[in-house]
């Protein structure tokens, strides 16, 4: 099976007597309440989804990742994984421990504070997001947090799983067991934060022709407010797998990360995390992890060429935008279809939302009717 990034699947979770002891200790420590992104990052560090990270980044790792997309060890890593100090950063002393708390204030982990540093958030936005435009959700996030970052190893003694996703929640060690049990030696992961339409289905099934199986791995962490809720998306994925995928060659599990909307850099991050889950291939579509017009449509493809294949370790599969061509009579892309755009069925997100809001099912060439039905019911329920 493909090795985790860095060669070892990190485990920073405590259980049994160790968990009880840490929970008691946390009551005596200065506390820090994490925001939703940091809470997602905490859980992913603990389970090894972000291997080789064992905690939130210290200054040297942070700077190297920000400027060169590498940890201080030289290992490829594309996004800073950071913890902001919020109010009164002077209360947190290097060499001491901090209780990390979920938004309600209950301690869930302990951080060994190894480093505390002030950062230039404008520079971080420019380097990582490639923009300082306040219209970018990633820039808005940086504006909302402190410029003092805390770094150090973590130990989680209480998981913060969302019960809405419990039955789909598989940690990296569990997906690896699943793949081994199924006999899947090659698995392609599909990252999504949207319901899967026919174009996505086409990409997935093209990839399935060259691997043993598909892992639909939807992101359920924090997203933009206008993104479709994760619970609704999960229902869409289930009806697709139930009706249109071979059950012995497809699986679904959640990816608990928050969206950064960092375009090409996030594509690398998404690929490395899926490698930790045991996937051997990763689908990179048009404008992967992009938002608005901040990135070129294929920037997320080009960035992989900045590294040697063995440095990434997971095989990216690059796809163009797909559509249904009326003359071809099937799904296609610009790489395979010679016909003009007038023959392509490709609806804008705005138009699809308008149709769904009116209870209208978009053309079958664009979306499966079972998926449309789930979305219509959710929109009608929201209106009520």
Of the three residues 122, 137, 156, the one that is the final residue of a domain is: 156
Are 179 and 212 members of one domain? yes
Are 253 and 367 members of one domain? yes
Most confident residue range from 81-95, 261-275, 338-352: 261-275
21-54: b (≥16 Cβ within 10 Å) or e: ebbeebeebeebbbbebbbbbbbbbbbbbbbbbb
pLDDT in tens, 286-340: 999 999 999 999 999 999 999 999 999 999 999 998 999 999 999 999 899 999 9
Are 87 and 140 members of one domain? yes
Q: Which residue has the higher pLDDT, 199 or 20?
A: 20
pLDDT in tens, 350-384: 677 778 878 888 888 888 999 989 988 888 877 76
Are 190 and 324 members of one domain? yes
Are 232 and 376 members of one domain? yes
Are 117 and 220 members of one domain? no
Are 101 and 193 members of one domain? no
Residue 74 confidence (pLDDT) above 70: yes
Are 144 and 285 members of one domain? no
CA atoms within 13 A on the CB side of 254: 23
Question: Which residue range is the domain that position 147 belongs to?
Answer: 16-156
Residue 183, domain CATH: 3.40.50.620
Are 63 and 122 members of one domain? yes
Q: Is residue 278 part of a domain?
A: yes
Q: Is residue 5 part of a domain?
A: no
Q: What band does 67 get if pLDDT is binned at 50, 70 and 90?
A: very high
Looking at residues 269-281, what average pLDDT do you find? 98
Q: Is residue 7 part of a domain?
A: no
Residue 35, domain CATH: 3.10.400.10
What is the pLDDT at residue 87?
82
Are 78 and 180 members of one domain? no
Percent of the chain with pLDDT over 90: 79
What is the pLDDT at residue 92?
95
Q: Is residue 2 part of a domain?
A: no
CA atoms within 13 A on the CB side of 98: 29
336-355: b (≥16 Cβ within 10 Å) or e: ebeeeeeebbebeeeebeeb
What is the pLDDT at residue 247?
87
Residue 195 confidence (pLDDT) above 80: yes
Residue 348 confidence (pLDDT) above 70: no
Are 26 and 67 members of one domain? yes
Instruction: Determine the Cα–Cα distance for residues 253 and 329; give it in Å rounded to an integer.
Output: 32
Are 270 and 289 members of one domain? yes
Average pLDDT for the chain: 94
Of the three residues 156, 179, 210, the one that is the final residue of a domain is: 156
Number of domains in the chain: 2
Q: Is residue 192 part of a domain?
A: yes
Q: Is residue 252 part of a domain?
A: yes
Of the three residues 122, 156, 190, the one that is the final residue of a domain is: 156
pLDDT in tens, 146-182: 999 999 999 999 998 888 899 999 999 999 999 999 9
Catalytic residue IDs: 193-194
């Amino acid at each position: 099976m493909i090795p985790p990034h860095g060669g070892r699947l990190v485990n920073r979770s405590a259980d049994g007597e160790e968990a009880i002891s840490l929970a008691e200790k946390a009551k005596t420590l200065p506390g820090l309440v994490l925001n939703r992104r940091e809470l997602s990052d905490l859980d992913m560090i603990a389970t090894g989804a972000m291997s080789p990270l064992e905690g939130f980044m210290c200054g040297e790792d942070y700077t190297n990742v920000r400027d060169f997309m590498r940890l201080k060890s030289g290992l490829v890593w594309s996004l800073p994984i950071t913890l902001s100090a919020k109010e009164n950063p002077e209360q947190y002393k290097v060499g001491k421990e901090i209780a990390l708390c979920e938004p309600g204030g209950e301690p869930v982990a302990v951080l060994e504070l190894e480093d505390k540093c002030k950062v230039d958030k404008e520079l971080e936005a420019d380097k990582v997001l490639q923009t300082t435009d306040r219209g970018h959700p990633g820039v808005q996030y940086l504006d909302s947090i402190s410029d003092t970052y805390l770094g150090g190893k973590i130990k989680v003694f209480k998981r913060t799983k969302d019960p809405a996703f419990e039955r789909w929640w598989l940690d990296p060690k569990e997906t690896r067991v699943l793949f081994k049990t199924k006999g899947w030696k090659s698995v392609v992961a599909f990252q999504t934060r949207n319901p899967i339409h026919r174009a996505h289905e086409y990409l997935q099934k093209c990839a399935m022709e060259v691997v043993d199986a598909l892992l639909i791995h939807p992101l359920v962490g924090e997203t933009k407010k206008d993104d479709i809720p994760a619970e609704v998306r999960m229902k869409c994925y289930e009806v697709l797998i139930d009706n249109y995928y071979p059950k012995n060659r497809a699986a679904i599990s959640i990816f608990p990360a928050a969206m950064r909307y960092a375009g090409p850099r996030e594509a690398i991050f998404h690929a490395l995390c899926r490698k930790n889950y045991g996937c051997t291939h990763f689908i990179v579509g048009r404008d992967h992890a992009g938002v608005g017009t901040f990135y070129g449509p294929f920037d997320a493809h080009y960035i992989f060429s900045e590294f040697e294949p063995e440095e990434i370790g997971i095989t990216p599969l690059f796809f163009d935008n797909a559509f249904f061509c009326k003359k071809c009579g099937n799904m296609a892309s610009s790489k395979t279809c010679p016909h003009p755009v007038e023959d392509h069925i490709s609806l804008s997100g705005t138009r699809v939302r308008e149709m769904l809001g009116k209870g209208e099912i978009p053309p079958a060439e664009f979306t499966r009717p079972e998926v449309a039905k789930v979305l219509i019911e959710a929109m009608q329920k929201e209106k009520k």
